[in-house]
Amino acid sequence: MPEGTSRLRLKVLGSAAGGGFPQWNCRCPVCALAWEGDPRVRRRTQASIAVSADGEQWALINCAPEILSQIQSLPALQPQHGRRHTPVASVLLTNADIDHVAGLLSLREGQAFTLNATAAIHDVLRANPVFDVLAAGLVERRHIGLDAPFELVAGVTASLFPVPGKIALYLEAGEIAAHGEVATALEGEQTVGVELSDGISRLLFIPGCARMTEALAARIAGADAVLFDGTVWQDDEMIRAGVGSKTGARMGHMAMSGAAGSIAAFADLDVGRKIYVHINNTNPVLIEGSAERRAAEAAGWEIAEDGMDVVPAGATMETAS
């Protein structure tokens, strides 16, 4: 890490994958524990983080359906003065999945902010007129190129990089009609990771990743913290749990365990903090003390919870939230 004190701070607003935890219609073994109030599991909203360098202006990275309750539980994101105000200066999207974009519909009350995404992700929003509730004169839709650093929010530089993934679930029918199948590990503008820096520390946010590549491993090495795709423990976990027919790979998510899993992929990468986010409700790492949770922790991983602070080593955290 370069000299100086990093002011970069990151808050996990939501740590669950699509559906949240527990999911409204699910009684898989892990959701059942949550519905029964078992103290080994905690409820989680869908995946989103907030980032700031000054504690006053914040960027949201992804905007979950629960954005309102996430703001209600974090004072730093609440209106601070006047009749209308928000500390949320910008939003950045890493793909067009429902769990990452649906919250935009709750940010519609005539408030100015900048909406950052790749052209491919903006195209998906443009094709859905419901997002036109974001007033054109107030919400600037900024197109961000890959590997083109930009100021995400005061004092924070972000850079987008391609991550193997697929198009959003609700676009799959059109893709199958056009091409007969869905590519699950595309590298381009539809799924990206975010590198965040204040010039001193470097944090990576990669909530969806279909597989590790050499380029990705090289980027991850040496980061102060990486928040990474923790959707499933085992590739066929949803099938085993009796709640679906899809593997993690089919959904564009690499598993944590196994030879091709993220625990193995990160084993030789030097990373300050390794944190799983976007955790599916079937994933047994959600259960404190489970064998899977202990295995992930023994490999140096933290399991994100809603409200978790990620502050680089030596950084200041003087905001009151």
Dist. CA 284–CA 279, nearest whole Å: 10
Q: Does 28 bind Zn ion (CB under 5 A)?
A: yes
- We find the least distance from the C-beta atom of residue 282 to Zn ion, in angstroms, to be 5
The correct pick among 6, 14, 15, 97 for binding Mn ion (CB under 5 A) is 97
Q: Does 229 bind Mn ion (CB under 5 A)?
A: no
Q: Does 41 bind Zn ion (CB under 5 A)?
A: no
The correct pick among 281, 285, 286, 301 for binding Zn ion (CB under 5 A) is 281
Are 220 and 266 contacting, i.e. CB atoms less than 8 angstroms apart?
A: yes
Among Mn ion, Zn ion, ligand MLT, none, residue 281 binds (CB under 5-8 Å by kind) = Zn ion
Are 240 and 191 contacting, i.e. CB atoms less than 8 angstroms apart?
A: no
Peptide bond into 2 cis (omega under 30): no
Nearer to ligand MLT, 19 or 87 (CB): 19
Are 143 and 122 contacting, i.e. CB atoms less than 8 angstroms apart?
A: yes
Closest alpha carbon to 1 in 153, 199, 151, 157: 199
- We find the least distance from the C-beta atom of residue 20 to Mn ion, in angstroms, to be 10
Among ligand MLT, Zn ion, Mn ion, none, residue 251 binds (CB under 5-8 Å by kind) = ligand MLT
The SS3 assignment for 219 reads helix
Write the DSSP assignment of 148-186 as a string of letters: --EEEETTEEEEEEE-SB---GGGHHHHHHHHSS--SSB
Instruction: Give the E-state strand segments of the chain in sequence order.
Output: 9-14, 48-52, 58-61, 88-92, 113-117, 139-143, 150-153, 156-162, 192-197, 202-206, 225-229, 273-277, 301-303, 309-310
- We find the least distance from the C-beta atom of residue 197 to Mn ion, in angstroms, to be 25
Among Mn ion, ligand MLT, Zn ion, none, residue 28 binds (CB under 5-8 Å by kind) = Zn ion
The amino acid present at 168, given as its one-letter code, is: A
The correct pick among 9, 16, 18, 87 for binding Mn ion (CB under 5 A) is 18
Q: Does 99 bind Mn ion (CB under 5 A)?
A: yes
Q: Does 118 bind Zn ion (CB under 5 A)?
A: no
Nearer to Mn ion, 6 or 262 (CB): 262
Among Zn ion, ligand MLT, Mn ion, none, residue 65 binds (CB under 5-8 Å by kind) = none
Q: Using CB under 6 A as the criterion, which residues of the chain lie in contact with ligand MLT when the complex forms?
A: 17-19, 97-99, 169, 208, 251-252
Write the DSSP assignment of 230-282 as a string of letters: -S-SSTTHHHHTTS-S--TGGGT---SSSTTSHHHHHTTS--SEEEEESB-TT
The correct pick among 10, 12, 17, 31 for binding Zn ion (CB under 5 A) is 31
Q: Which two tokens stand for residue 177?
A: 């009609």
Determine the size of the site formed for Zn ion (CB under 5 A): 5
Q: Does 26 bind Zn ion (CB under 5 A)?
A: yes
Chain positions contacting Zn ion, by CB under 5 A: 23, 26, 28, 31, 281
Chain positions contacting Mn ion, by CB under 5 A: 17-18, 97, 99
